[in-house]
Structure 1
């Protein structure tokens, strides 16, 4: 039952009660019949005016309730609109304020869900392309070998290509696993130990030893800092350096050098990895650390990648109390700088 009907019913009940009392009073000769009619008429007029006055007083509250009802239905349909111009009564104004706060939170949650769904769709589309390319290449080359179309001299070249494509598939799997692991371990504390800077750089570069040798890369390392070690999570730091170096090798041509420089200030060490490759356009630089973001579709078709490496690296660096920045210019190369505290807080 609506509030307006309840108000009318309450006054109707009060009027009926008065009439019944007057009727019994006349019946038992408590006062004369003429007086009873006058009392009844006065009560009818009084109740009518009281109802009209109460309705006018309740009208703002009724309008506010209707607004809340309309906005609730809109909210259920996915329209996140705030309620405005509800100032009285005070309880309904507070309820409207709470409703608006709830609407803001729901809108934020739905936007995060939509963004997550968009990222999933993007990831599926990218993985479909990235997986299909090496799989198709592996299949065609194996078929060529099985059909006898490859002579003995060309066979090692084909096998090496198959190996490279298989490694590419393995890298895609590893990157996805890293994202899952990074998200799951966000709340876990890092394992802090003494990490020697020169040793961890050598360990990170060893992963690319074959590629560096094949592409005839000149790796130039310059250690300017006076601190030979820091206290941090060794595994996390290794993953950061691995991803940054892999990025530098991927987006620069064979034969071009890679410069690695280490320096420090009072509380942080900084390791910069510089390449002389394609670079990153200025408008893209603020997005390159976003999950699944990849620069320029045409460039991605050439170089591949899931857009996860830099995202993972920044997540780990921030967890260790540091940061990663980029300085780049299209056609001239990029410099990624990893800043980590000399001692991670445990």
Structure 2
């Protein structure tokens, strides 16, 4: 039953009940004929006026209900941008506002779902390419060795070295993917493990880069403050951040170029932070790419080609680790050329307990 019909039925029943009462009063001599006719006419007249008022006053209510119903139908049909007009009584305006808020929430949720699906498809496509390239290389070299077409000892060893390099590359890619999936879960480290000493981390990390630095004859410089730098981050996470930034800097550094790591303490409103900078003299990064460079699997045409060896995961892992530990990360143009990757972390400060004088 429609709202208009329901209200008219209620109104008719009320008028009929009043007329029945008037008839009863007249029958028991409580009203004269003149009074009965006058009251009955007044009741019927009031009923007619009430019907007309119902007709005109219900129109905006029905229009508001129709708008809400039409909006719901459009959303059910897949039009998540459907919105309804804020008009009518206060309650209907509130209902329209809540409806529009629901539509905005649904649209944002759907957008996130589509973005996640797109990212997943991109992940699978990139993974297929990045895994296929070293696997195809290993397969071709192994087949050549199996067919005994390599007789020269030096070429034989070069083939074995290439196979080893490609298998290491596969292992690094798989490890990066595993670490990235675990970092997405935002697993919190116990507070007592969140203490790193920058010098100790670098002493353990830097020997790993001796060979690639020597192969490119890079001039490598490390500059730290005189006093020890204590940071509120797990040592393995700080090591991973610096490792990924160094790998990226070495990969894009020219032969005989300069490479540096610097760190400095900065006093801020919220306390002391430590800013690390990893600089190289590579081809640099354009302004447009400075935000995109930290996205998963992102490669620019010139500086992050697949031939360069990067899978596009190292910088995204570094960004996740920095942000999960309350810091910031970014990249600037270095002088006179190259890139300057920087990140900040909170300095570790012992909590002081109050005491008497």
Q: TM-score range by the shorter chain?
A: 0.7 to 0.9
Q: Which residue of 2 aligns with 1:157?
A: 158
Distance in 2 (alpha carbons) for counterparts of 1:12 and 1:124: 69
Unaligned runs of 5+ in 1: none
Which of these residues, 307, 310, 331, is aligned with residue 312 of structure 2? 307
2:11 aligned counterpart, secondary structure:
helix
Give 1:126's aligned residue.
126
Deviations 1:300-320 (A, max 9, x none): 333354433222212211232
Q: Which residue of 2 aligns with 1:328?
A: 333
CA deviations 1:172-200 (Å, max 9, x no partner) are 21121122221213555555455332331
Counterpart Cα distance in 1 of 2:350 and 2:309 = 37
Measure the CA separation in 2 of the matches of 1:187 and 1:12.
69
Corresponding residue of 2:202: 201
What is the SS of the residue equivalent to 2:253?
A: coil
**Is the contact between residue 260 and residue 280 of structure 2 (CA under 8 Å) also seen in structure 1?**
yes
The number of aligned residues is 344
Partner of 2:68: 68
Which position in structure 2 is the counterpart of 1:272? 277
CA–CA distance in structure 1, aligned partners of residues 203 and 246 of structure 2: 12
With normalisation by structure 2, the TM-score equals 0.84
Q: Does 1:117 align with 2:117?
A: yes
Q: Which moved more, 1:72-81 or 1:188-197?
A: 188-197
SS at structure 1 position matched to 2:305: helix
Q: CA deviation at 1:257?
A: 3.6
Distance 2:335 2:298 in 1: 18
3-state SS of 1:336 partner = strand
Q: CA deviation at 1:339?
A: 2.0
Task: Tell me if 1:252 matches 2:257.
Answer: no
Q: After alignment, is 127-136 or 151-160 more displaced?
A: 151-160
Q: Distance in 2 between matches of 1:51 and 1:345?
A: 79
Alpha-carbon distance in structure 1 between the residues aligned to 2:179 and 2:337: 30
Q: Which residue of 1 aligns with 2:354?
A: none
1:135 to 1:191, Cα distance in 2 relative to 1, 3 A: farther
Q: Give secondary structure in 1 for the equivalent of 2:264.
A: strand
Corresponding position: 1:181 with 2:182: yes
Q: Per-residue displacement from partner, 1:143-198 (whole Å, max 9, x unpaired)?
A: 11101122232111111111111111112211211222212135555554553323
Q: 1:253 to 1:223 in 2, by over 3 A?
A: closer
Where in structure 2 are the equivalents of 1:1-346 lying within 5 Å? 1-18=1-18, 20-21=20-21, 42-76=42-76, 77-86=78-87, 88-151=88-151, 152-189=153-190, 191-192=192-193, 194-213=195-214, 215-232=215-232, 233-266=234-267, 267-296=272-301, 299-328=304-333, 332-343=337-348
Q: Which runs of 5+ in 2 are unaligned?
A: 352-357
Distance 2:264 2:334 in 1: 23
Question: How much has 1:299 moved relative to structure 2?
Answer: 4.2
Provide Cα deviations, 1:277-314, integer angstroms capped at 9, x if missing partner.
22212211122223443323884333354433222212
| More divergent stretch after superposition (296-305 vs 118-127) | 296-305
What TM-score, normalized to structure 1?
0.86
Tell me, in whole angstroms, the C-alpha distance in 2 between the residues paired with 1:48 and 1:72.
Answer: 35
Rate the CA distance shift 1:219–1:329 in 2: closer, same or farther, 3 A: closer
Q: Partners of 1:94 and 1:28 in 2: how far apart?
A: 52
Structure with greater contact order relative to length (CA < 8 Å, sep ≥ 6): 1
Change (3 A) 1:11 1:304: farther
Confirm or deny: 8 A CA contact 1:320 1:344 kept in the other structure. no
